[in-house]
Amino acid sequence: MHAPFDVLIVGCGSSGAALAARLSEDPARRVAVIESGPDYADVDALPQDLRNGNRMSLDAHDWGYRADIFRGRDIRLPRGRVTGGSSAVGATIALRGMPSDFDEWAELGNPEWAWDQVLPYFRALETDLDYGDSALHGGTGPIPIRRWRPDEMTRWQNAFEEACAAAGYDRVRDHNDPDATGFGAIPSNRRDGFRRVSTAEAYLRPSDGRPNLTVFAQATVDRVLVSGDRAVGVEVRSSSGAVETVTAGTVVLASGAINSPAILLRSGIGPREDLEALGIPVTRDLPGVGLNLVDHPRSGIFIIPKDGTLDGENAFLQSILRTTSRSGETTNDMQYYMVNHFSLDPFPHLKRLSQASLINGVMVCQQRPKSRGRLRLTDPDPRSEPQIDLNFLSHPDDVDTMVEGIRECARLMRHDYVMANRERQLILRDEDVDDEDLVRVYLKATLDSSYHPVGTAKMGPAEDDTAVVDQYGRVHGIEGLVVADASIMPNIASANTNLTSIMIGEKVAAQIEERAA
């Protein structure tokens, strides 16, 4: 049994590492963070899959989750299981959402999260190596952000940018400028050209040695312990299976949009009917726990390139097009990018369809889908995986938008270099793109997740019966329990979610500091 901590953080990923570092800056505050995966002592100790930002790590440090994406089709849903979380295994895309995303959060009853309120925390997290300290960018934050230089782009990326220009899109110098729309180099959190910089490296390692910060690695939280209406600690299971109790004045769940709601449900916090069906005593009836699951759906047009035209050592993403669909209700509701190389080994359904292992092509990711999914427990045992229903394409507008996106992918692929260096196009032929029914069938066969789940413990005022936390991350009806990760987003941002998740950690840490002052 440990002496009580002032703040106990569950999960040391994109948000959790930022919380741990910021809150432990006060030497009088005893902080602990619990991480289910390993914690590597320094950069030199990192395995190659975590060092190499040129490809995602989908196996070695993963939770192994599966999700129902569309009418019973099962896919993998990778989530990082290591200090740094998904920031340690992802594609190093350091994009902010649009100002309208955060202003919408404010309009939903969370004025603390309007664009002008979150911008200072986006600036605080970064050292922008291209633009430095300015009204838009930070120059002293933990995360280094750089953009690919023209001389670093592969010929495939040059072809993609030339195709974007020919299609009438504008070139963008800084995708993190709120007014930017068009194509240009992706901002990336990496060093030395290829090395991924996770929140473990950026936030946690500089905090090593603080006597008031304790890191419990390879330990999994079963549930939050609640006495009356107050959280008092957590029940933790070590890798050996031993269970112990860790107590704290404040418990912060920062385990992500899959694990944070699962912990809440195992703690008896969630929809009464679902909890009673599983035999879990109800601590607090909160119907919104596990609801409102949102992710970015993706598909694309893919080819098998001719031998010798791909170099698997290059970064697989370098340039991106952000634009607005014909029916888009917000700016930049679509992303397009060419992958330099893309392995189908982790995607057996696509591998069977294409009869190929390594491909490239232009992908489309819908940024503001209207479909909503749900997360449920199948068993009260914390070792059982939750049921994850992404429910993609359940809203008809999403189908129409993604069909438009696939057709735009096909247009951007009709570049002279691409046409001259493709062995064959996969599944959907050039002449099939104008066939509405065929494109819809193709979409359903190739649909996948962008691995950006959010929203399963959304923030909102207490009168919203689907809200789980208030705008400070505090769980409605439970004192001393806070959620601070992607699960609290009331709607998904129009960008890859890692940078927004780090910002959430920064902002909630500041809110906790303000309340303690």
Which amino acid belongs to residue 93?
I
In a domain, 386, yes or no: yes
Residue with tokens 């180099």: 185
* Same domain for 49 and 3: yes
Judge if 255 and 266 occupy the same domain.
yes
Confidence band for 444, pLDDT divided at 50, 70 and 90: very high
Answer yes or no: is pLDDT of 290 > 70.
Answer: yes
pLDDT of residue 1: 56
SS3 assignment, position 478: coil
Q: At what angle do helices 99-107 and 115-125 cross, to 10 degrees?
A: 130
Domain count, the chain: 2
Q: What is the CATH number of the domain that holds 513?
A: 3.50.50.60
Q: Give catalytic residues, as residue numbers.
A: 452
Domain boundary among 417, 446, 475: 446
Inside any domain, residue 421: yes
Residues 289 and 416 in one domain: no
Neighbours of 387 (CB within 10 A): 15
Q: Is residue 143 part of a domain?
A: no
Q: Is the pLDDT of residue 99 over 90?
A: yes
4-18, 100-114, 150-164, 310-324: range with lowest mean pLDDT: 310-324
Q: Are residues 223 and 270 in the same domain?
A: yes
User: Please, are residues 289 and 272 in contact by the beta-carbon 8 Å criterion?
Assistant: no
What mean pLDDT is reported for the chain? 96
The last residue of a domain, from among 446, 471, 491: 446
What is residue 350's predicted lDDT score, i.e. its pLDDT? Answer: 72
The answer to whether residues 46 and 115 belong to one domain is: yes
Residue 511 pLDDT class (50, 70, 90 cuts): very high
How many angstroms separate the CA atoms of 269 and 263, rounded?
9
Q: What is the mean pLDDT of residues 258-274?
A: 98
Indicate whether 53 and 105 sit together in one domain.
yes
Please tell me whether residues 199 and 328 are part of one structural domain. no
Range of the domain at 402: 149-185+297-368+393-446
Each residue of 145-192: pLDDT tens digit?
999 999 999 999 999 999 999 999 999 999 999 999 999 999 999 998
The answer on 402 and 264 residing in a single domain is no
Q: Residue 103, Cα to own-chain centre: how many angstroms?
A: 20
110, part of any domain: yes
Give residue 238's pLDDT. 87
**Is 135 inside any structural domain?**
no
Which residues, in sequence order, are CB contacts of 255 under 8 Å at separation 6+? Answer: 10, 11, 13, 16, 36, 221, 263, 485
Instruction: Identify whether 137 is part of a domain.
Output: no
Same domain, 354 and 230: no
Strands (E) across 313-357 are located at 319-323, 334-343
Residue 413: phi and psi, rounded to 5, are: -80, -10
Residues 355 and 319 grouped into a single domain:
yes
CATH number at residue 419: 3.30.410.40
User: What are the distances in angstroms from CA 157 to CA 122, 169, 212, 422?
Assistant: 28, 15, 47, 15
138 falls within a domain? no
Q: Is residue 501 a part of any domain in this protein?
A: yes
- 232 in the same domain as 95: yes
387 and 274 housed in the same domain: yes
Residues 363-380 have pLDDT tens digits of 999 999 999 999 999 999
